[in-house]
Structure 1
Amino acid sequence: MKKLYTEKQTVLATFLGGPVPAGILMYKNFIRFGKEKQAYITIALTLIFTISFGFVILTLPDEILEKLPSPLITSFYGLIAAILYKRFLAKEVKTAIGDGAQRASNWSVAGFTILGLAINLLIIFGIAYSKPPFSGEKLVVGSSKHEIYYNTTTISEAEAQKLGDELIALGVFTDEVPQTVYLGSSGERYALTIPVQLNSIEDAELATEMKALTWSLEDAFGKPFTITLESYNLTGKRTVKSIE
C-alpha cells in the first residue's frame, strides 16, 4: 500500500530544511501516483528555484541582507510549497488517504528533510565559492597568491600593492594559506575588511593583533585605518566587528 506525504509534512519539511525537502516529498507523491513526468518536472523546478534563489540572496547588498530576518525567508518558500501542494497534490492525496492509503511516517520526513538541507547547503556553498568574495578590482600578491580587492574609484593599484607588501612584511600574508582582503576608503580613512572564522570574531587576542595592525598600517600609509572583521554563518547572516 502506497504511503503519501501530507501537506502539513511537506510544509514543515520546507520550514526546517529549505525548498529541496519539499521538492523531494512532492516528487515521491507524484511517483506513487504514477505521474513520473510531473515528478521529474518537480525535481527540476526545485533545483532551478534553489539555485536562482541562492544567487539572489548572495548578490544582495549586505545592508539589505542583514535586515532580512531568517523566518521571513523560510516563510517565503514555505508559502510557495503550500501553494504548489494545494494546487497539484492536496485533493488527490486526501482522496487516496480516504480510500485507504497510508500517511508516510514522520521519521521518513525527517530523513528527507536532513537530506534536503544537506543538498541546500551544498548548492549555497557552490554558489558562494563560484562568486568573488568582494566586488571591485582584484590584485594578486605574494607566492601564495593572496587576493586584495579594492574600490577603483577611491583606491589606486599602487595603494593596493603597497597594502599587499605591508601585509606580507607584517606576517599577515604568509606562504602557508592564501588570504583575501578588501581595501576601501571613506573620507580620509582607509577601510580594510578581513574575513575570519565566525568563532574567532570576538576573540580578544585577535582583536589585540588587529589593533596593532591598524597602528602599523597607519604608520606606513600616513592615514587612519579601520579594520573590519567579517564572518558569515550557514544561513548567510553577516557578522562584523570594527577596530580602529
Structure 2
Amino acid sequence: MEQVTSSSLESENDILPVPPEYKINIEKGILIATFIGGPIAGAILIAENFNRFGKETSARNTWVFTILGIVLFTITLFYTRILEILSPITLPFLYTGVISLCYYNFQDKLVKTHLTNDGPIYTIDRSLLAALIGLIIMAPIYFFAYRGIENIGSL
C-alpha cells in the first residue's frame, strides 16, 4: 500500500486547469457590433463563439434563424409601413435586444465558464470589424425598407 504524505497531496492540489487557448467574443462586443452593424454583425460573432465552443450545429442554426429573421423583418417593414409609426432609430434597439436575449439564453454560461478558466477574449476591434461587415450588408436593405418598394424606381 502506498503511503500518502502531505507533500504528495499538495502537489496534486496545485494542478490548475489549463486555460482555453481559443478566443471568444464577449457580450459587450457582440451588442456593440449588433447595434452598429445590425443582426448580421451579431450573428457573425455569436456563430463564431458557437464554433469555438465546438457547437457547430448551433452555429449553423444561428445563421438560419438570422437569415429568416432578416427576411421576415424586411417583409414586415415593406408591407406594414411600420416606419411611419416608429422612428427608424428604434430598429437598432429592437434587434440588439433580440440578439441580447439569444446571447443570454444560449451563450452566457459558456462564456462565463470560459472567462472563469482564464480563457482569452477578442478585443473590441474585432467586434467593430463585424459591425462594418454587417453595415455593408444591411445598409441596402435598410435603405430600400425605409424608402419603400414604390419608391425604388425613383432613385
**TM-score of Structure 1 vs Structure 2, range by shorter chain:** 0.7 to 0.9
Residue number among 4, 24, 37 corresponding to 1:4 in the alignment = 24
Q: 2:37 touches 2:134 (CA, 8 Å); kept in 1? A: yes
* TM-aligned CA distance change 1:55 to 1:29, over 3 Å: same
Kindly, what percent of the aligned residue pairs are identical? 28
1:58 aligns with 2:75: no
More off after superposition, 27-36 vs 7-16: 7-16
Shift of 1:126: 7.8
Shift of 1:66: 2.7
Normalized per residue, which structure has more helix? 2
Q: TM-score, normalised by structure 1?
A: 0.50
Shift of 1:122: 4.4
Count of matched residue positions in the alignment of Structure 1 and Structure 2: 135
Unaligned runs of 5+ in 2: 1-20
Q: How does 1:200-211 map to 2 (within 5 A)?
A: none
Shift of 1:59: 1.6
* TM-aligned CA distance change 1:132 to 1:122, over 3 Å: closer
Residue number among 7, 10, 17 corresponding to 2:37 in the alignment = 17
Distance of 1:132 and 1:71 partners within structure 2: 20
Aligned-residue RMSD, C-alpha: 2.5
Unaligned runs of 5+ in 1: 135-178, 181-194, 197-244
Shift of 1:17: 1.1
Residue number among 79, 83, 107 corresponding to 2:125 in the alignment = 107
Q: How does 1:1-244 map to 2 (within 5 A)?
A: 1-61=21-81, 64-124=82-142, 132-133=149-150, 195=154
Higher relative contact order (CA 8 A, sep 6+): 2
Question: SS at the partner of 2:36?
Answer: helix
Question: SS at the partner of 1:102?
Answer: coil
Distance of 2:69 and 2:115 partners within structure 1: 30
Q: 1:17 touches 1:113 (CA, 8 Å); kept in 2? A: yes
Question: SS at the partner of 2:59?
Answer: helix
Larger Rg: 1
